[in-house]
Amino acid sequence: MDQQNKLTLQKLLFAFIITISMTFISCGDNAPQDPSKFSNTKKVVNASGLSDFELENGIGPIKQKIELTTIDPVLVKKGQGIFETKCAACHKLDERYVGPAQRDVFKRRSPEYILNFMLNPEENYKRHPEAKKLLGEYLTQMPNQNLTIDEAKAMLDYFRKIADEK
């Protein structure tokens, strides 16, 4: 077999690989989808494989900076209710408990990070260096409490409010 034929075979192989990939992709349409996967694959710039935005603001549905308006007392109340029902089993405001104290969370993290972490904890634990560090310290993963974006935003206003209270 001469060089020419070998090349043709290699081209053929390449074509096969492309075909396989396409087949897998088309198959993927039928496969179950994990709705919690929001990864943003653009602008990979660092060793963790995350974009600068993701490094600062977490991985999740919030993909750009949000504009903070004045704190809405209605949302604060709603956020507090959600916190007490769905979060307070593991978080206290001023002391470490199962998870970190929450009063200063707004000072420690960007608003987008807080939202993304509440909305998409699993993926952040897997991929985000800050979340991995947190897991190392607290040894337990924060469960996904399936908040809507609106509910998470109400909690953000609650966190903003309590940050100023002490």
Partner 1 sequence: MKNISRKTLLSAFGILFLIALTYAGCNQSKTSLSGNEAEQVYVAPGTYDEFYLFTSGGFSGQMGVYGLPSGRHFKTISVFAQNPETGYGYSEETKAMLNTTYGFIPWDDSHHPEFSMTDGVPDGRFIFINGNNTPRVAKIDLKEFETTEIIEIPNSAGNHASPFVTENTEYIIASTRFSIPIPQSDVSISSYKENFKGTISFIKLDPKTEKMNLEFQIIVPGFNYDLAHAGKGPSHDWAFFTSYNSEQANSLLEINASKNDKDFVAAVNWKKAEQYLKEGKAKTYDAEYYRNYVDHKTQIAVSEKNNQVKVLDPKDCPGMMYYLPTPKSPHGVDVDPTGEYIVAGGKLASVIPVHSFTKMMKAIEEKQFDGEIAGIPILKYDAVVAGEVKDPGLGPLHTEFDDNGYAYTSAFISSEIVKWKIGTWEVVDRIPTYYSIGHLCIPGGDSKKPYGKYVIALNKITKDRYLPTGPELTQSAQLIDITGEKMKLLLDFPTVGEPHYAQAIPSDLIMKNSVKFYKIEENGNPYAVKGEKDSRVERKGNEVHIYMSAMRSHFSPDNIEGVKVGDVVYFHVTNLEQDWDVPHGFAIKGMNNSELLIMPGATRTIKWEPKKVGVYPFYCSDFCSALHQEMQGYVRVSPSNSNVPLAFSLGN
- Token pair for residue 165? 């209270």
The single residue among 17, 44, 45, 68 that binds partner 1, judged by CB under 8 A, is 17
44-73 binders of partner 1 (CB under 8 A): none
Query: Is residue 148 part of the contact set for partner 1 (CB under 8 A)?
Result: no
Query: 73-82 and 149-163 helices cross at what angle (nearest 10)?
Result: 100
- When the beta carbons of 13 and 149 are compared against partner 1, the nearer one is 13
- Taking the least distance from each CB to partner 1, the nearer of 87 and 105 is 87
**Residue holding tokens 């007392």?**
73
What is the separation, in whole angstroms, between the first and last Cα of the chain? 81
Contact with partner 1 (CB under 8 A) among 71, 90, 101, 163:
90
* Separation of alpha carbons 67 and 147, rounded Å: 20
* Shortest distance, position 32 Cβ to partner 1, whole Å: 6
Closest CB 110 distance from partner 1, rounded Å: 24
Among 11, 13, 43, 45, binds partner 1 (CB under 8 A): 13
Structure tokens at 138: 């607290």
Q: At residue 34, what are phi and psi to the nearest 5 degrees?
A: -100, 105
Contacts of 146 (CB under 8 A, 6+ apart): none
Q: Which residues contribute to the site for partner 1 (CB under 8 A)?
A: 1, 5-6, 9-10, 12-13, 16-17, 19-20, 23-24, 26-27, 30-32, 84-86, 88-90, 97-98, 139-141, 143-147
